[in-house]
Structure 1
Amino acid sequence: MAQSFAFDFSKLDYTTPNDKIKAVGAPDVPQRILDGLKKYEDSSRGYGAHGFEYNSRVGKGTILVDHRPEDAQVTQVYRMPVDPASEELEKVTHFDLGTGRVISSITPIKGDDWRGTLRSGGAIMGMDVDGKEFFQFWRMWEDSESETVIPHIDGELDNKPSTIRIERLTHDNSIKFSSLLLSQTEDYFLFSSTEDGPAEIHTYMTRLTDSKTGISPSSTAAFSLPRTRITAKASSGRAHWAASTVSLDNKYVLLTDIKGASYRPLYVLDISDPATLPAQPERLLLPGATEREEETNNSWISFSRDAATPHLVYIITDAYGDFRSSLILDLDSRTVLRHITASEPSLNAIRAIPWDVKGHVVLEDMLYMVANIDGWDAHYVMPLSGARKHEVIEIKFDGDGADSASFSPTFNRKNGRPYEICYRLASYRSSGALAYADLGPALERVQTDNEGKSFIVVTLKSYKQAQPIAPAFKTVAPKVIKFKSFDGLEVPFVYYHPCEGKKRVPVNIEIHGGPTVQATSLRKSRIHGYLINELECAVLYPNVRGSIGYGKKYMMADDVYLREDSVKDIGALIDYIGEHMKDELDASKIFVSGGSYGGYMTFACLTHYSNKLACGLATCGIADWVAFLSTTAAHRQDNRRREYGDETDPDVRAFLQRISPASNADKITSPLSISHGENDSRVPFEQAYFMYDSCVKRGVHAELIAGVNEGHGFKQKSVLEYVSGSKILFLERFFAKASTA
């Protein structure tokens, strides 16, 4: 039975300042604030790269990218030439669902013959229809790339005037489809789905070509994707499988069973005969692991792309230490051939990196790695053949955007040019600019630094048509400061001051969600620039315990019964501001804010520290742990219980009830602004309403903004802009002149 996340608004007295907003107890936002926010909104609309297309329509090919133009409610998809000398940008999606729909992925493919004819190129898209994150699969293609022109299909999206056509492949909005994976040969398409039960995520497989669906090219009926489940149903009725990689010879698929952020065991399944699959995937334990298996995360798992060694596997794991590192495993012999980045001296890694490797990509003759160095990206490449085989070489950037903090790569492997990369650049100045680079020439000029370590210099060339609007306001570079929390644990925060610490200013403490994410120079609130420039407010982004990037012990330091230790980190930060930063920060004027888990932290901080906080802004926040864990989408429950605790255990349930902000709302005395998506499937809207109602009944000022047809976070222009404006108006009234002294 499908879960319902509907909220009955009929009992509320609300206004509708626009058709995407329901406002409860909140005044209309004046136009002057919306006008004042425009330059900040404009510069926040960055670009993202999804992948290189297979076709060669323009010169050396094309890339699919996304961007929300000024006149669009939601993000749209574009196509641009690979050649950075070109400035073309073609909009390829025009459909409007009238909701905060989310495009989760766009995966270019060689083609499919599901409809009885070969449709070359195009992509498979993951997208929900209403912000609830129950993603469906959609096929994007063009008639010009199809052997036979297919007539209009029932339910096909109206995407005119684009030549891109989009048909739906899955048809149940109560089922989530995710974790799309193509086999290396692209014979097979694997994915995960909840169709066998709302709490079970299983892996399925289907053919892209030679599919033998029996459908005629002249058929206009809607098509339902054929598939075979390759993971067995669990006796508990709960599972969370995801396929990671398929060997080049199509013999093996490696999967993980996602138990939580700290536990992701690895499995292997023989798929050489899809008609007679094994009853269950085989558990694969890493030999010589030094960490507890139930506290080991295995991710970024990729088979070799070399036909001579199809069963070599590249894995990122924390099975050998506190940080996540890359290694090479021989699946046939079940032996670790090399540790690539592990920092433990006994493992003799090729190049020890004492931080997390957050991702790697296996290409035909190189391994590309990205490490997280205290919140900043560091890139490395390791050739898999030639004179520099298994030498880890650092990549240093020059050219356009070389001083960015994040460089997210997309490779042109599909067209045989893996050294050709589209980078998404982000920094405190830019929300997402695209740039081109070619590693080939740089790898012919490897240099050595003063410590004898290898590096190359890669030149970035901007895609001029894929640059966000340059900030028409002052941008402030961040710095990282660390402080001792209540128990001596060192906690970092990213710090922005509007005038370089030369003046004592009010403070915003913005807490990230997750909790297993990290505040970096990339993660900024939507009103960050306005706070810095218009309200002359410093902004601090703490990485409280539970954040990633500092080892798994730090990440697990807030689990279950330790939950409120992360709240105490904020209390310690408030004290640190008053004791050690009083010349540049005004400890009597602090407000706290955050979204999702950061919304919980906002609620919780107000229950503990209202006497020290002027006000709070909570977005999509968790207020009641027991209600959250029992009502969040069923497929998320076990994952979240590992982090927060199992509310079906009486002792844990009592603890969670005791610490929930909803149980302590009577301690909140500071004004509170709450915003939430009405279709949120992670944190149901009832949680937001409860906190609003609890405050108002006790005479504490509270405001509630609901995003219509929005989920966990906001995607629609009208909602994004209005919510930001409402927050600024709230701060003008309850923060600008406030003082807790």
Structure 2
Amino acid sequence: MKKILLFLILSNLIYSQDRREIGNLIMEDVPEIPQEVEDRSRQYRNTRSASCRSWLRDGSGMIIGTRFGETSQLHIVKQSMGTRSQITFFEEPVSGGNSCPDPNSNGFLFSKDIGGSEFYQIYYFDLNSGESAMLTDGESRNGLGPWSNGGKSFAFTSNMGNGIDMNIYVGDLDGNHTPLVQEKGYWFPRSWSPDDSKLLVGKYVSINESYVYIVDVKSGRMAQFNPKDEKISYGGAAFSKNGKGIYYSSDERTEFRHLRYYDLIQDRHTMLTGHIPWDVQGFSQSDNGRYLAYLTNEDAISRLHVVRTTGFKEMKIPELPVGRIGGLDFSPDGSRLAVNLNAPRTPGDVYVLNLRNRSLIQWTQSEVGGLDTESFSKPELIHVNSFDGLDVPGFIYKPTGPGPHPLVVYIHGGPESQFRPSFSSLIQYWVKELGVAVLATNVRGSSGFGKTYVQLDNGYKREHSVKDIGAFLDWIGDQSDLDQERIAVFGGSYGGYMVLASMTHYNDRLRCAVDVVGISNFVSFLKNTKAYRRD
């Protein structure tokens, strides 16, 4: 079957000599896609996932995001495997879904743009009336931030000041927005103090340099948190629920971002995860302050930890499948923790960890297009030695059968990003339907492997990351079940640039290359892109 599909595609490619225009798309000598391929691939394209956006204020259920039709919309789920009641019906995908903590309000914040413009606006949805209202100016680019603890206001980031700098504003449900931080650069809100008098804010410079400030909401006075001479990369930062300290993650004096606690009264910093040699990628506190959950990124695989804040003692919890975890959100009473779990054989779904009996219950079960996902390929973690002896990781997906299999080298964007083994219908289609192996790489410059690793492709070292692709090609040549005569490279954005560079350096070792919106000319890119993208 796989050989027949490949024959149909190759035959059309050889004998097609036509020009077709579909809207703005012009195709020359591109073959028609066989109907059989289109029908089968549609099943893979129609898989969907679900994610928890927030618990309802009273804990009676949660707001989730999932796709029905063409775009992701918001729904309410009241119980495990319960009915998904859709509450937003827009043509554009909807982000957010943050429930208002004010007991006198019954609604949530969300954001969306128009026509893919990326000028996201913030809205409030009233669950009593079913109506929504825009709270921002309708023209600028805005990003959701946290509600105040009282629920009367919320913080957000916006470039409404000058169209370039992302500054911080405080908004309310009447559509008023007051400037709080008006400085050059990219600023964003992090956490309100328990009494809502102060706001933790962040300033992002690069993946290796960021800052945290404490802002007095009434006066606007701002003081830098933990000022140091060295450049520090901060992850999350939040006031403790009792207001006596600040939890934060940073790579200060360490290779990885560790979770730390700053005691405001004793002026003392304590590292909490020094025993784990990996990045802490996110954390969340229960409203009662008793529990804290955090995630570590261990060789691109997520690990969930839950601790009691008194003594920071880790609790035993059920082992979660290997994959990607996110969306940590405690229920209002602190007894349950919602997590989003995405694994290679299952699309993203919501699970709830009961902290009283330590049970893990699946709340959503997303559709997979009628596919048998148990037959999907599980990725294997590999490492190669690059030209300078550097250890470079990647994940290999292999079809069933002895091979030798053709192979796609998959290069992620960023470059300060990371390939992680989660559900990918595209990769699984290639592997199962076309019999193509996929090698997903995390070349130098990828995040998640320490602050040294992420800087190894900076400046004139940029093409060292391209040489890492050469090391993967060498590894492929040593595998008897992989066909080194049939190798393709595939990537988007920065990964697209890497595809073009790989074509230049390894043209004689590649049979195919696919560049998706990759940068081929940095001058024209910087000239034509939006101002907020220029750094």
Structure 1, residues 78-107: CA drift from partner, whole Å, max 9, x if none?
Answer: 1111x21x53111222233xxxx3433221
**Alpha-carbon separation, structure 2, partners of 1:266 and 1:470:** 47
Identify which of 172, 181, 203 aligns with 1:257. 203
Q: Is the 8 A contact 1:326 1:357 kept in 2?
A: yes
For normalisation by structure 1, the TM-score amounts to 0.66
**Alpha-carbon separation, structure 2, partners of 1:375 and 1:432:** 17
Partner of 1:586: 483
Matched, 1:47 2:50: yes
Change (3 A) 1:425 1:232: closer
Partner of 2:177: 227
Cα deviation, residue 613, structure 1:
1.0
Q: Secondary structure at the match of 2:163?
A: coil
Matched, 1:604 2:496: no
Matched, 1:312 2:278: no
For normalisation by structure 2, the TM-score amounts to 0.90
Cα deviation, residue 111, structure 1:
5.0
Change (3 A) 1:374 1:520: same
Equivalent position amino acid for 1:339 in 2 = M
Partner of 1:425: 341
Change (3 A) 1:172 1:409: closer
Matched, 1:303 2:239: yes
Count, aligned residues: 513
The answer to which structure has the higher strand fraction is 2
Structure 1, residues 553-581: CA drift from partner, whole Å, max 9, x if none?
Answer: 00111122221111111122112211x21
Cα deviation, residue 269, structure 1:
1.5
Cα deviation, residue 170, structure 1:
2.1
Q: Secondary structure at the match of 2:336?
A: strand
Change (3 A) 1:522 1:567: same
Matched, 1:510 2:505: no
Equivalent position amino acid for 1:438 in 2 = N
Partner of 1:282: 223
Question: What are the within-5 Å matches in structure 2 for residues 545-564 of structure 1?
Answer: 545-564=444-463
Q: Is the 8 A contact 1:372 1:378 kept in 2?
A: yes
Partner of 1:76: 73
Matched, 1:632 2:513: no
Q: Is the 8 A contact 1:181 1:190 kept in 2?
A: yes
Highest RCO, 1 vs 2 (Cα 8 Å, sep ≥ 6): 1
Partner of 1:244: 190
Partner of 1:293: 230
Cα deviation, residue 123, structure 1:
0.8
Q: Is the 8 A contact 1:53 1:62 kept in 2?
A: yes
Change (3 A) 1:486 1:619: same
> How many percent identity over aligned positions?
26
Equivalent position amino acid for 1:53 in 2 = L
Partner of 1:566: 465
Q: Is the 8 A contact 1:104 1:135 kept in 2?
A: no
Structure 1, residues 668-715: CA drift from partner, whole Å, max 9, x if none?
Answer: xxxxxxxxxxxxxxxxxxxxxxxxxxxxxxxxxxxxxxxxxxxxxxxx
Matched, 1:67 2:66: yes
Structure 1, residues 328-383: CA drift from partner, whole Å, max 9, x if none?
Answer: 012355421x21002xxxxxxxxx10111111112221111111111211111221
Equivalent position amino acid for 2:109 in 1 = I
**Alpha-carbon separation, structure 1, partners of 2:122 and 2:364:** 31
Q: Is the 8 A contact 1:88 1:465 kept in 2?
A: no
Partner of 2:317: 395
Question: What are the within-5 Å matches in structure 2 for residues 8-157 of structure 1?
Answer: 15-16=21-22, 22-25=25-28, 26-42=30-46, 44-55=47-58, 61-69=60-68, 72-81=69-78, 83-84=79-80, 87-96=82-91, 101-111=92-102, 120-143=105-128
Q: Is the 8 A contact 1:192 1:203 kept in 2?
A: yes
Cα deviation, residue 244, structure 1:
0.9
Identify which of 270, 275, 293 aligns with 1:368. 293
Identify which of 205, 216, 220 aligns with 1:270. 216
Q: Secondary structure at the match of 1:492?
A: strand
Cα deviation, residue 523, structure 1:
6.1
Structure 1, residues 389-415: CA drift from partner, whole Å, max 9, x if none?
Answer: 321345333xxxx424233344243xx
**Alpha-carbon separation, structure 2, partners of 1:392 and 1:629:** 48
Cα deviation, residue 189, structure 1:
0.8
Structure 1, residues 282-321: CA drift from partner, whole Å, max 9, x if none?
Answer: 22225xx7xx622x11121010112xxx140000100130
**Alpha-carbon separation, structure 1, partners of 2:487 and 2:361:** 42
Equivalent position amino acid for 1:63 in 2 = M
**Alpha-carbon separation, structure 1, partners of 2:42 and 2:468:** 34
Q: Is the 8 A contact 2:235 2:257 kept in 1?
A: no
- Identify unmatched segments of 5+ residues in structure 1: 1-12, 113-117, 145-163, 214-224, 343-351, 443-458, 639-741
Partner of 2:517: 620
Q: Is the 8 A contact 1:53 1:108 kept in 2?
A: yes
**Alpha-carbon separation, structure 2, partners of 1:40 and 1:261:** 34
Change (3 A) 1:257 1:319: same
Structure 1, residues 217-271: CA drift from partner, whole Å, max 9, x if none?
Answer: xxxxxxxx211111134xxxx3111111111122321211110111111212122
**Alpha-carbon separation, structure 2, partners of 1:433 and 1:256:** 30
Identify which of 400, 404, 411 aligns with 1:499. 400
Q: Secondary structure at the match of 2:114?
A: coil
Equivalent position amino acid for 1:423 in 2 = V
Change (3 A) 1:395 1:629: farther
CA radius of gyration, larger in: 1
Matched, 1:340 2:276: no
Q: Secondary structure at the match of 1:68?
A: strand
**Alpha-carbon separation, structure 2, partners of 1:27 and 1:245:** 53
Partner of 2:438: 539
Change (3 A) 1:266 1:609: same
**Alpha-carbon separation, structure 1, partners of 2:268 and 2:370:** 51
Matched, 1:405 2:346: no
Q: Secondary structure at the match of 2:345?
A: coil
Q: Is the 8 A contact 2:247 2:260 kept in 1?
A: yes
Q: Is the 8 A contact 2:145 2:190 kept in 1?
A: no
Cα deviation, residue 469, structure 1:
4.8
Partner of 1:181: 146
Q: Is the 8 A contact 1:434 1:467 kept in 2?
A: no
Q: Is the 8 A contact 2:491 2:499 kept in 1?
A: yes
Partner of 1:721: none
Q: Secondary structure at the match of 1:607?
A: helix
Equivalent position amino acid for 2:240 in 1 = S
Question: What are the within-5 Å matches in structure 2 for residues 641-652 of structure 1?
Answer: none
Q: Secondary structure at the match of 2:449?
A: coil
Structure 1, residues 649-668: CA drift from partner, whole Å, max 9, x if none?
Answer: xxxxxxxxxxxxxxxxxxxx
Q: Secondary structure at the match of 2:156?
A: strand
Partner of 1:693: none
Cα deviation, residue 470, structure 1:
5.8
- Identify unmatched segments of 5+ residues in structure 2: 1-18
Cα deviation, residue 631, structure 1:
3.4
The answer to which structure has the higher helix fraction is 1
Change (3 A) 1:89 1:267: same
Cα deviation, residue 546, structure 1:
0.9
